[in-house]
């Protein structure tokens, strides 16, 4: 939008060259203005066609339809005690893609890397650097594979969450007589169980490393920051214990709520808000913001959350064996 | 007058509960957004200042800036999740 709303270029010829300004418009600016025009015109067209008074769909008015329905997990089938639903499907997809890409690249490393190998090598460099900075040599050798795996796993899981797949079994549509579930963007991270189990694993690991390094009593003592003396200890120590357990919650909620709120926002801006208030013009008017938020989430947040989870794993494990 | 209003409202307790939930969601999301907004502003403020003072440290500053951004941004979601829990449970 910024290119479209910027002031027109000032030509050096002065006032006499006014007719030439329009011809001098760059192609980018033309495209920007025409998209803006289509958007504005669309608002008018939708307003005229459907009116500006709300007429909600019957399901919405009876509150049968809820925005949270899209995150419900319907059991598709069961194998023994394992219920199979779309969250499990996404997890299996993530595992498959992660293993497949990594093994494929590892088996055919080349002197002159292709695009995929460059990407994988950049992940390697990034996770290698952050585990070197936060862990000592022995721990780094031991935990670098875990940190790199966590990074790639969460990254893949986040990214396939932005590809529409036919998994919404709540609603379906027909193609040539076959019932196909609606397309939906869903990510395994939007279910709290996924980040919780990762965070639990990290929590158990850094507690184990701390206990191994300090001994059980030494570890409990090492939670206290160094240099604190006197009666203030009684005040600070409970807070330190609490903050140790809050790491579990903050690791979980950071990943889970980022993805959940992101997917909700994309859905709302991409038309659901218009359905909820019963105004087609609202859906159309918010569509560009939906596209912007989708790009923001897919480009920045997906990678950032994977990076944060990996670096916090390294920091926590490194901090557990640190002596104050 | 007041009695007539309460009678017209039907189930005042139910309406009160619904109102409380809506307030909780609005307060959680709004307060979280306000706090996270101020925090993210502080993060980028510090980052821009240190980058203009010491451009040679740009790469390191930017890495820490994104770490700070993500940690600060998460506080918005703590408020939002608290609001959602109050709203839906």
Question: Residue A296 to residues A123, A163, A198, A305, B47: CA-CA distances in angstroms?
Answer: 20, 14, 25, 13, 20
DSSP string, chain B: -HHHHHHHHS-HHHHHHHHHHHHHHHHHHHHHHHHHHHHHHHHHHHHHHHHHH-GGGHHHHHHHHHHHHHHHHHHHHHHHHHHHHHHH-
Residue A112 has pLDDT above 50, yes or no: yes
Cβ–Cβ of A257/B74 closer than 8 Å?
yes
Are the C-beta atoms of A248 and A205 separated by less than 8 Å?
A: no
Cβ–Cβ of B77/A308 closer than 8 Å?
no
Q: Mutating which of B81, B82, B85, B87 best tests the A interface, going by the most A Cβ atoms within 10 A?
A: B81
Q: Kindly report, residue by residue over A229-251, the tens digit of the pLDDT.
A: 778 888 888 888 888 888 898 89
Beta partners for residue A292, in sequence order:
none
pLDDT at A99: 93
Q: Kindly report, residue by residue over A129-164, the tens digit of the pLDDT.
A: 888 888 888 888 989 999 999 999 999 999 998 888
pLDDT at A16: 46
pLDDT-derived band at A180 (thresholds 50, 70, 90) equals confident
Task: Please tell me the distance in Å from A308's CA to the nearest CA on chain B.
Answer: 7
Rounded to whole angstroms, the Cα distance separating A133 from B34 reads: 33
pLDDT-derived band at B36 (thresholds 50, 70, 90) equals very high
Task: Please tell me the distance in Å from B80's CA to the nearest CA on chain A.
Answer: 8
CA dihedral for A230, A234, A236, A241, sign (positive or negative): positive
Cβ–Cβ of B70/A253 closer than 8 Å?
no
* Domains detected in chain B: 16-88 (1.20.20.10)
Residue A11 has pLDDT above 80, yes or no: no
Residue B8 has pLDDT above 80, yes or no: no
Which residues fall within 8 angstroms of residue A160, CB to CB, at 6 or more apart? A90, A93, A94, A97, A187
Task: Please tell me the distance in Å from A300's CA to the nearest CA on chain B.
Answer: 10
Q: A-B interface: how many C-beta pairs under 8 angstroms? A: 32
Q: Kindly report, residue by residue over B38-63, the tens digit of the pLDDT.
A: 999 999 999 999 999 999 988 888 88
Residue A28 has pLDDT above 80, yes or no: yes
Chain A residues touching residue B71 (CB < 8 angstroms): 254, 308
Question: Residue B72 to residues A171, A245, A295, B65: CA-CA distances in angstroms?
Answer: 37, 19, 21, 10
Cβ–Cβ of A304/B80 closer than 8 Å?
no
Rounded to whole angstroms, the Cα distance separating A220 from A245 reads: 13
Question: Residue A55 to residues A63, A107, A277: CA-CA distances in angstroms?
Answer: 14, 59, 8
pLDDT at A201: 93
Which one, of A93, A273, A114, lies nearest residue A187 by Cα? A93
Q: Kindly report, residue by residue over A281-317, the tens digit of the pLDDT.
A: 888 888 888 899 899 888 888 898 999 999 999 989 9
The two three-digit tokens of residue B48, written as one number: 């821009």
pLDDT-derived band at B3 (thresholds 50, 70, 90) equals low
Are the C-beta atoms of B72 and A254 separated by less than 8 Å?
A: no
Beta-strand ranges (E) seen in A62-148 are: 77-79, 82-84
Chain B residues touching residue A257 (CB < 8 angstroms): 74, 77-78, 80-81
Provide residues of B within 8 Å CB-CB of chain A: 66-67, 69-71, 73-74, 77-78, 80-81, 88
Task: Please tell me the distance in Å from A195's CA to the nearest CA on chain B.
Answer: 14
Boundaries of every domain in chain A = 1-50, 51-320
Using DSSP, state whether A172 is helix, strand or coil: strand
Rounded to whole angstroms, the Cα distance separating A301 from A190 reads: 14
Question: Residue A66 to residues A63, A272, B29: CA-CA distances in angstroms?
Answer: 7, 10, 19
pLDDT at A306: 92
Rounded to whole angstroms, the Cα distance separating A94 from A99 reads: 8
């Amino acid at each position: 939008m910024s290119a479209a709303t910027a002031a027109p270029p000032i030509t050096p010829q002065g006032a006499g060259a006014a007719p030439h300004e329009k011809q001098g418009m760059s192609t980018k600016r033309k495209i920007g203005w025409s998209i803006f025009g289509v958007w504005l015109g669309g608002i008018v067209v939708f307003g005229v066609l459907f009116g500006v008074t709300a007429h909600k769909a019957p399901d919405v008015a009876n509150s049968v339809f809820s925005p949270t329905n899209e995150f419900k997990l319907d059991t598709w089938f069961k194998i023994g005690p394992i219920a199979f639903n779309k969250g499990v499907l996404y997890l299996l997809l993530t595992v498959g893609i992660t293993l497949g890409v990594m093994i494929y690249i590892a088996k055919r490393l080349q002197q002159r890397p292709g695009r995929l190998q460059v990407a994988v090598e950049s992940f390697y460099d990034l996770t290698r650097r952050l585990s070197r900075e936060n862990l000592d040599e022995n721990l780094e050798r031991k935990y670098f594979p875990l940190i790199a795996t966590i990074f790639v796993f969460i990254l893949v899981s986040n990214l396939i969450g932005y590809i529409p797949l036919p998994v919404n079994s709540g609603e379906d549509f027909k193609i040539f007589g076959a019932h196909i579930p609606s397309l939906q963007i869903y990510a395994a991270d939007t279910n709290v169980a996924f980040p919780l189990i990762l965070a639990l694993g990290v929590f158990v690991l850094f507690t184990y490393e701390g206990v191994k390094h300090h001994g059980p009593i030494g570890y409990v003592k090492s939670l206290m920051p160094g240099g604190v003396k006197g009666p203030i200890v009684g005040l600070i120590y409970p807070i330190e214990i609490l903050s140790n357990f809050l790491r579990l919650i903050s690791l979980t909620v950071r990943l889970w709520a980022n993805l959940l709120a992101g997917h909700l926002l994309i859905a709302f801006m991409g038309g659901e808000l218009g359905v909820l208030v019963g105004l087609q013009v609202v859906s159309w008017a918010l569509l560009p913001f939906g596209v912007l938020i989708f790009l923001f989430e897919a480009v920045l947040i997906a990678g950032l959350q994977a990076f944060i989870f990996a670096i916090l794993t390294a920091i926590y494990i490194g901090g557990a064996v640190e002596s104050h | 007058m007041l009695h007539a209003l309460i009678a017209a409202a039907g189930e005042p307790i139910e309406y009160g509960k619904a109102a409380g939930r809506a307030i909780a969601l609005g307060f959680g999301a709004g307060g979280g957004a306000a706090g996270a907004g101020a925090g993210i502003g502080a993060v980028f403020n510090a980052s821009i200042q240190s980058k203009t003072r010491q451009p040679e440290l740009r790469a390191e500053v930017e890495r820490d800036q994104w770490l700070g951004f993500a940690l600060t941004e998460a506080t918005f979601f703590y408020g939002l999740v608290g609001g959602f829990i109050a709203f839906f449970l």
